[in-house]
Amino acid sequence: MSLSFGAHVSVAGGVDKAFARAEVFDMEAIQVFTKSERQWKAKPLPDDVVERWFDERTRTGIDKIVTHASYLINLASPKDDLRTKSIVGYQEELERCDTLAIPYLVIHPGSHTGSGEELGLAAVADSLNRIHENLPDAKVTTLLETTAGQGTNLGSSFEELAAIIDQVEAKDRVMVCLDTCHIFAAGYDFRTEAGYADVMGRFDNTIGVDRLKAIHLNDSKFPLGSRRDRHDHIGEGEIGLDGFRYLVNDPRLIGIPGLLETEKGDDDIEDGRNLQTLRGLVAASV
């Protein structure tokens, strides 16, 4: 038993198409976009597509599903117009998730763009509080994603994510998604058994392992602490196989969606190769 392995899957042709693509590689979990990640606006989900989504979900048995919010959204922005637009955009994404009964929506905490970390973190929490007030009955849980720490991006330390959660009133509506490439680029070294124990111990003490609801499984093209977000195939980057070996054999993480965000190659063949690598590590001795 280990993570529920899967990948970010294309929804080209309709969100319902994701399941058949995941089925090819025996995925147990998927991550999708419910709209273009590079645009603010999106057409409503057609009723027939929603119906097929649930039919395919039942047919394949793939029920561990995560979606990712648009990269345009910045809940930390000090600019009132952009933050208001981001709040509205994020609410729309939450509503789309509710339509599809997707339990988790991953979002980057945002960038303070010069206002400073303290104000930026407070802005993220305030945005979430406003969203929760506007959508009191939404069933979707927000997953704050760990980041690499590029520029003025927030969320590169466990303490920053904890600071956001501390200021959110409905704490049960905000959990965490850990990205292996991002935390490595931010300076967390989990490539040895002792290092992994230390990093996860710090996460547990600062945030709580019980708040970890999804993991992005990506190796890193750049060295420890580089603060550069460039994903590599599992075991072929600066993290290497051992860091992933400790993670996939951690009994505390059994059943959590473990999702690839690596380059896919023709016909998504690289997803199959990376999944095979990960599954092979589960059988290996730690």
The pLDDT score that the predictor gives to residue 91 is 97
How much is the average pLDDT of 87-105? 98
On the CB side of 93, CA atoms within 13 Å amount to 30
Mean pLDDT score, 1-13: 96
pLDDT of 37: 87
Q: What mean pLDDT is predicted for residues 138-159? A: 97
pLDDT at site 42? 87
- Catalytic annotation present for 233: no
Known catalytic membership, residue 133? no
Number of compact structural domains in the chain: 1
Active-site choice (16, 93, 160, 229):
229
Domain that holds residue 189: 4-283
The pLDDT tens digits for 169-208 are 999 999 999 999 999 999 999 999 999 999 999 999 999 9
Residue 134 has pLDDT above 70, yes or no: yes
The arithmetic mean of pLDDT across residues 119-126, rounded, is: 98
**Active-site residue 216, yes or no?**
yes
> One of 8, 68, 112, 191 is an active-site residue; which one?
68
Q: What percent of the chain has pLDDT over 70?
A: 99
Q: Is 137 a catalytic residue?
A: no
pLDDT digits (tens, 9 = 90+) for 236-259: 999 999 999 999 999 999 999 999
pLDDT at site 285? 47
Q: Which residue in 179, 219, 238, 242 is the catalytic one?
A: 179
Least confident span in 36-40, 119-123, 138-142? 36-40
> In this predicted structure, what is the pLDDT of residue 283?
73
| pLDDT range class, residue 73, cuts 50, 70, 90 | very high
The verdict on whether 159 is a catalytic residue reads no
pLDDT at 196: 98
Q: Active-site residue 52, yes or no?
A: no
Full-model pTM = 0.97
Phi, psi of 79, rounded to the nearest 5 degrees: -90, 120
* In the predicted structure, residue 286 carries a pLDDT above the cut 60: no
| CATH number, domain containing residue 166 | 3.20.20.150
